[in-house]
Amino acid sequence: MNMTWLMRMARWVRHPPSMLQVKIVAAVIFAVIAIVVIDKLGYWPEWARLNPKAMRAIRP
């Protein structure tokens, strides 16, 4: 483990994030999980999907 990470963890122990920050992170994680589940079930609209072949064609 890098010393920078140890210092960051020590700072978090001394000054933990606020409850608002925890709620925001939890909401973002929940939204990502919901989108993945909706996509895996097949309910995500086709127009909202990326075309991986088109993305590869942009690169030189």
The domain locations on the chain are: 17-58
| Segment 8-59, tens digit of pLDDT | 999 999 999 999 999 999 999 999 999 999 989 989 888 888 776 665 655 5
Residue 4 in contact with residue 13, Cβ under 8 Å?
no
| pTM of structure | 0.65
- Residue 56 and residue 60: Cα distance in Å, rounded? 9
- Residue 19 and residue 16: Cα distance in Å, rounded? 9
The pLDDT of residue 6 is 93
- Residue 9 and residue 17: Cα distance in Å, rounded? 12
- Residue 58 and residue 50: Cα distance in Å, rounded? 13
